[in-house]
Structure 1
C-alpha cells in the first residue's frame, strides 16, 4: 500500500485536504456569514428598519392565516408579497444582488437557498455606512481566493514530481496528514520492534 500510485483522484484529494488544512473553507464560511448578516441588515433597512419590520411580518402572518381559509381553487400558488433569495440593489451606482445566504454570486453552490420577505429592489446612497461595509468584503474575498490558488498550484507542482505515496512521504513527510484516511492508515502500520524481530528470527547467533 505504501507504493500506491498517485492517481489524479488521489492527487486531487491531497490538494483538497491541503486547502482544508490551511483553513480556507473556514475563512470562506466566515466571510459568507458576514455577507449574509449584511444582506439581512440591508433587507430590514429597506423594509423601514428594525422598529417597522416586526409589524410588517405580523401583518403578513395575519393575511396568510386568512388566505388559508379560502377555497384551494382560488389560490394562485404564488406568495402575495415578494419573497426572494436576494434583494436587487443600487449600491451607490453599482447594481448587484445581495443574497440572503451570504453567497457572493447566486451560482455559488452548494449553499442552501434562503428565501425572505423583501423589497424587490432598493437603493443605498454613497453616504450610507452599509456601502463602505460592503466594499470591505472585497480584500478578504481576494485574499482567500489568492491563498487557495497558491496552495493548489504549489501542492500540485510537488505532487507532479513524485509517482507514489511512498515517495511523496519520503520527500514531504508532513504530507501524511493530507492523505485520505485509508491511505494514511496504510502508511501508519506499526513496525515490528527490532527486539521482537530478532527473537523471531533467532538473532544474534549463539557463540560457543
Structure 2
C-alpha cells in the first residue's frame, strides 16, 4: 500500500485539495457572489423599478395567449429575458452575467435568465464603474495565486513516484491526499545514535562520566 504509485489522477486530486486548502475556492465563490449582487443592482436600475409591474403584465399576456389554440401560440416570452445585460460601462462594452460568470464560456454555473433590457449605459462617475473594475483586479489575483499553487505543488509531486516517498519528502502533504489514498507509512526509525541519547544508552557511559 505504502508503495502506491502517484498517478496523474492522484496528483490532480492533490493539487485540487491544495487549492481548496489555500482558500482559492472560497475566494472564487465570494467574487462570484459579489458579481451576482452587482449585476442585479445594474439590472434593477436599468429596469427603472418596473420589475413587479412587468411580471404582472407578463402573467396577463400569458393568460390571454392561453386562450388561443395551441397552433397559434409560440414558445416565446412575452417580456424580454436574458442571462446577461450588455453595458456601455463608461465607454467600454462589457456584459454583466446574472449568474456571476466572468465570461459567457464559463460553464461551471448554469445561466439564469431574468427580465432585463438588452442594453444599458453607466456613466463614468457612477461608483458601479469602479466596483466593476475592482472585480477584474480580484479575478487576476485569484488566477495568479491559483496558477502559482498548481505549478509549485505539481513540481513537488513530479519529483516523487510513490505516496511513501511523497510523505517522506513532504509529510504535511498527508492532509492533501485523496480520501481513498492509502494510509501514510509509519515514520522512519530514528537513527541509532538518537535512540541511544534518548534512552541513556549505554549504561556504562553514565558510570564513567
What TM bracket, shorter-length normalisation? 0.7 to 0.9
Q: Establish whether residue 9 from structure 1 lines up as the match of residue 9 from structure 2.
A: yes
Quote the residue 2:44 is aligned against.
44
Quote the residue 1:159 is aligned against.
157
Q: Establish whether residue 187 from structure 1 lines up as the match of residue 183 from structure 2.
A: yes
Q: Establish whether residue 114 from structure 1 lines up as the match of residue 112 from structure 2.
A: yes
Q: 1:153, CA displacement in angstroms?
A: 0.6
Q: Establish whether residue 130 from structure 1 lines up as the match of residue 128 from structure 2.
A: yes
Q: 1:66, CA displacement in angstroms?
A: 2.3
Q: 1:80, CA displacement in angstroms?
A: 2.2
TM-score w.r.t. the length of structure 2 is 0.84
Aligned length: 187
Gaps of 5+ in 2: 188-209
Quote the residue 1:105 is aligned against.
103
Q: Which of residues 48, 54, 67 is equivalent to 1:69?
A: 67
Q: 1:79, CA displacement in angstroms?
A: 1.3
Q: How is 1:21-60 mapped onto 2 (pairs within 5 angstroms)?
A: 21-49=21-49, 52-60=50-58
2:67 and 2:186 map into 1 onto residues whose CA distance is 70
2:75 and 2:154 map into 1 onto residues whose CA distance is 50
Q: 1:27, CA displacement in angstroms?
A: 0.9
Q: Establish whether residue 89 from structure 1 lines up as the match of residue 77 from structure 2.
A: no
User: Helix, strand or coil: the match of 1:123?
Assistant: strand
Gaps of 5+ in 1: 192-208
Deviations 1:105-134 (A, max 9, x none): 011122011011110111111122211111
2:31 and 2:142 map into 1 onto residues whose CA distance is 10
Q: 1:190, CA displacement in angstroms?
A: 8.9
User: Helix, strand or coil: the match of 1:181?
Assistant: coil
Q: Establish whether residue 19 from structure 1 lines up as the match of residue 15 from structure 2.
A: no
1:189 and 1:163 map into 2 onto residues whose CA distance is 15
TM-score w.r.t. the length of structure 1 is 0.85
Deviations 1:9-50 (A, max 9, x none): 11111111111111111111110111011111111111113x
Quote the residue 1:149 is aligned against.
147
1:154 and 1:89 map into 2 onto residues whose CA distance is 39
User: Helix, strand or coil: the match of 1:109?
Assistant: coil
Deviations 1:163-199 (A, max 9, x none): 110000011111011111111xx215899xxxxxxxx
